Chains A and B, each alone.
Chain A
Amino acid sequence: MKPKVAFFDFAGCEGDQLQVANLEEELLALLGQVEVVSFREVMKEHSDNYDIAFVEGSCTRLQDEDRLKTIRKNAKIVVAIGSCATIGGINSLRNYKDLDNVKKTVYGENAKFFDSYAARAIDAVIPVDAYVHGCPIDKEDFLQVVKSLLLGKKPETTTYPVCVECKKNENVCAFERGQFCVGTVTRAGCNSCCVNEGTICWGCRGLVDNPNENSHKEVLIKYGLTVDDAISKFRLYFGWQEAKR
């Protein structure tokens, strides 16, 4: 019997589910292996009978926690997909700002009707079995994780930084091009896709397990970034992880 899978979204842009919807011919091959029972972005039907739950988005409210706990109870395997879910992502930027101001900016006069707290990765609320990192997730990476789960294999998460992939892809280092990059401390697995296109690594896959942050900050400053700029480079994606460390 094919495993039943469901997709859920929390605070986020749903861009990761869009990546799945855009798998094209591989989507058909995927549907040969799994049965999708819930996927709001592409279908109307919904069922709470699922084996694997893919969760996108950060947890930003107390009531999100209850929903996450229900998902955890229903699913045999919970997979966090996308930066917001895996590492707190861009949502965590606001954790460094005054929450009332943030709410006012977003909801204006109606701010008082909305609950909110510091944005967090979903493993801050429930245990997570596997991660598909990225903003948005990489299709190939998503399929690798799915295949691993189908084979009963623990999905491999790289422990080395993006530099490894940049070197293999023979990219000219962003620093050499006069830009600032956080690939040196960011978990690889994206095949250095952004740097391959001539930009920089923004850090969307999160910090490696044991980053040498001091050395990296020194590098950023050596190449001409101010301390404040270096910190904001870090916070774009690493905010939640940094606070946790």
Chain B
Amino acid sequence: MKIISKVDFQNFIDALIKDDSLNVIGVKSRGSKFAFAPLESAEELRLDYDVTLLPPKKYFFPQRETLFTYDLSDGFSAKNPEEPTPMVLVGVHPYDIVALLHMDEIFRETKSDPYYFKKRDAAIIIGVNIQKMSKWNFSSFMGCAAIDYGYDLMLTDLGNRYAINVGSQKGEDLLSKYAKNVTVALARDIQIAGQKKREVMVMSQQKFDFPPELIPELLKDSYGKSGFWEKHSEKCLACGSCVLVCPTCYCFDVKENLDLSLEQGERIRTWDGCLLEDFAKIASGENFRATRPTRYRHRYFKKGKYLFDTFGFISCVGCGRCSSNCLPDIANPVNLFNDMYHESIENGEQMATIAAQPEVNIQTEGYIDYVPKLATIIKKVPMTSMETLFEIKLDDGSELSHKPGQFVEVSVFGIGEAPISLSSSPTKKETFEVCVRKLGNVTTKLHRLNVGDKVGIRGPFGNGFDVDSLKGKDLLFIAGGLGIAPLRSLINYVLDNRKDYGRVYLLYGCKEPKELLFSDELVSIASKENVVFKPTVDRCPESGVWEGNIGVITTLIPQVSFDPEKTLAILCGPPVMYKFVIADLKKRNVPDDHIIMSLERRMKCGVGKCGHCQINQIYVCKDGPVFNYSKIKGVPEAL
């Protein structure tokens, strides 16, 4: 531990500010509150603050951030944003430091987010131990009120001087370069600093009635708790304040912004929040968390269970910002979990006494690339009034090398990006195909593009079908509407590797005959050996021609005879289809693990970061979109 007088500390901060190569940020007053902001002089620094309006994450994951800028005047050329200026953050409270460590893990998982880490790696954190605690704070309970890690320097106020804990070489170097008269702490100062730290560790006025490490256990049986979530969320304004001020929230939206020349533009990401109405809404209009109670519940589960199951930590540091920013006062985690705890006790439920230890297995490799590859539309085949098949080739000549069941993010420059399933088999190598329904802005504009026009491609993303595990099996494909598009990739793959697979049954249903996709192709597939093809339509208008089955997709299931033990059922269709098809397959004794399905959600980033496609702890874009029914049948919200 070191000691610096307050006068010398001010000089130290002023020396940092004077250095133009550094961006010095500190806590300043803002009205009656406090905020992190660029420092013009050390005098502005308010290390006696209680809590800042926003956490310091805004410097690493800003409210609005340019992912890349582009120029369309001559094709498409993208430019990454400039390298960030090294930053010194002065006065970060311990709970906010822990929150940054959570963000680090989240942004590092699977693939690292380059925008976040460029700024994070270039930053020096000077923490300060809490002097005044906000009345909403419960960081003492979360073990985040005082810490021995995560900072470069940590200050403790000792009256006319600061004690400094040095946490890294970067911190040590900063002190020796910019600070004067730093001395080694004497035993008395070490004792006082230790005493102050212990005081902080029990300072929180918000109190849990049970050990908060049991929150994941408590949540385990609370998802469907009758009336509980409805009651607690009744006053929710769906304003998103609780998640927008949260130091560990990381969900974002991706948007496109073009200037008036319509040639220069940028792709940006902005903070989003799972409490907001459209968070889980997809282009077709389906909203997977349309009601306030479901979104309200999602927040608590995400913090207390989903992230815990993946990363092993409760993603809450007890800063109390959510509680203090909620006007109807329903966002306070302490109140909610205490209520949940007491209700459980009253109901005579068995309460776990030991915190669960999830199996944490985080792998990470490389960086996410948010800049799409340029590609050209080389063929455009209108299929129905709503769907068109596009054949696309990457301009750099590389192969997409996808698996059946994977998807790509297709960019229409100036409009945006949309996730679209790959519809061609990987056995077709030089190009790939996507069957696109005209629904949102991106797909509508895509339909207006012509052969030779450019699009952007990111991916392939998702797990895809495990073609090896299907080998030797009979395959029962069940497709509803546009669900045929991703299945076509697998069907053609299977037919191209015919000897590896058994019988193929294909059941395909649409609303009306004119909506059937790939009709000619499917008829030619049907003529192949060991292939049974049965189409159906929900109805046939008088003007239509239809000789096949009429009825919903499930009416086809009794018409095929298959051996449930030898057969794998592979499903893809609108969300409403699965429940009914699965019920009918179960009637035919198909085991759970013989049912495989591809799910649709709002897959905005494609890389498991933005949060929109999340079902419980599952990211559909990364862990799916292909799932085995046995793995997700117990997962609420999945089906």
Contact = CB atoms under 8 A, between A and B. Distances in A.
A44 interface: no
Given A147-B260, A164-B276, A212-B235, 13 more contacts: A32-B260, A32-B261, A151-B414, A151-B415, A159-B278, A160-B278, A168-B64, A168-B244, A208-B238, A210-B238, A212-B236, A212-B237, A212-B238
B328 A219 contact: yes
Tell me if B's interface is mostly helix, strand, loop or mixed: loop
Contacts of A160: 238-240, 273, 276-278
Query: A147, A168, A169: which has the most chain B beta carbons within 10 Å?
Result: A168
B32 interface: yes
Interface string A212-231: 10011011000000000000
Tell me if A's interface is mostly helix, strand, loop or mixed: loop
A167 B241 contact: yes
A147 B32 contact: no
A194 to B, nearest CB: 15
Interface in A200-244: 208-212, 215-216, 218-219
A81 to B, nearest CB: 18
A218 B239 contact: no
Contacts of B259: 29
B258 A151 contact: yes
A175 B273 CA distance: 22
A170 B51 CA distance: 13
A238 B426 CA distance: 55
A163 B260 contact: no
Interface of A: 26, 29-30, 32-33, 143, 147, 150-154, 159-161, 163-164, 167-173, 175-177, 184-185, 208-212, 215-216, 218-219
B328 A218 contact: yes
The 7 nearest A-B residue pairs measured at CB: A163-B239, A167-B244, A29-B260, A172-B31, A215-B235, A168-B63, A160-B276
Query: A32, A184, A215: which has the most chain B beta carbons within 10 Å?
Result: A215
A170 B53 contact: yes
B18 interface: no
6 contacts: A147-B262, A172-B53, A177-B31, A209-B277, A218-B235, A218-B328
Contacts of B33: 172, 176
B54 A170 contact: yes
Contacts of B245: 167
Contacts of B414: 151
Contacts of B327: 173, 175, 184, 219
Nearest to A220: B327
A150 B445 CA distance: 12
A30 B260 CA distance: 7
B417 to A, nearest CB: 13
B550 interface: no
Contact of A152 (B30, B31, B53, B444): B444
Contact of A212 (B54, B292, B441): B292
Interface in B433-473: 441, 444-445, 448
A48 to B, nearest CB: 26
Given A172-B32, A172-B53, A177-B31, A163 B262 contact: no
Contact of A159 (B30, B271, B276, B325): B276
